[in-house]
Chains A and B, each alone.
Chain A
């Protein structure tokens, strides 16, 4: 089966750096996404990794190690607006197409 683990909640200080970890177990791995979801709003795409290594996009970076089934999302220069839930999402190939499996999300609270 598929399994995704990420911390339920984290707290960090404005201006700091925070790393949100995600471990997964799946067959047919075909990429990993990170989404941000503010309360009552749509999940929005942040990053995508399919090969091992680091992908950087502004204040956000995402890392993937396929052999370890591990990813992290790194947020730098934290702002209050970064308070949200961060979803680790694994894409797998099922033979009939790609399907997404969602983690339960990490609720990040940014404090002054």
Chain B
């Protein structure tokens, strides 16, 4: 298993600003994922962040809008850049530590953009 800490848990931001979300894991993991959960919708994968390589973004998500850092095997950040109200959502960090394929999730960051 894995225990994931995300910071901040929630934030209210102004349009045009940026917010960086931190994800800390209690064990070393190769694969980390960032998801978005918009109100009333399912989780959508933003990108996969593997240590030592550039993040891989899903269709509809770009690096300029959601830059990701992965400096080591226990930590990652996701930045939501130049925010607009449409970015209001819950952002979740997830890891897949073992061969079994089970993914573990952080509690999420609830972002509101005014």
A interface, CB within 8 angstroms of B: 4, 31, 33, 35, 40-45, 48, 87, 91, 97-100, 102-105
Q: Is the CB of A42 within 8 A of B92?
A: yes
> Given the complex of chains A and B, what is the CA–CA distance between A8 and B114 in angstroms?
29
Residue on B nearest A96 in the bound complex, by CB: B56
Q: Is the CB of B4 within 8 A of A42?
A: yes
Chain B residue total in the interface (Cβ 8 A): 19
Q: Is the CB of B42 within 8 A of A42?
A: no
Task: Answer whether residue B82 sits at the interface, using C-beta atoms and an 8 A cutoff.
Answer: no
Q: Is the CB of A105 within 8 A of B42?
A: yes
Q: Is the CB of A104 within 8 A of B42?
A: yes
Please give 15 more A-B residue pairs, beta carbons under 8 A apart, in addition to A42-B108, A99-B45, A105-B42.
Answer: A33-B102, A40-B110, A42-B106, A43-B43, A43-B105, A45-B103, A48-B101, A87-B42, A91-B101, A100-B43, A100-B45, A102-B44, A103-B42, A104-B41, A104-B42
Q: Quick one: which of B73-112 are within 8 Å of A by CB?
A: 92, 100-108, 110
> Given the complex of chains A and B, what is the CA–CA distance between A35 and B102 in angstroms?
10
Residues of B within 8 A of A42 (CB): 4, 92, 104-108
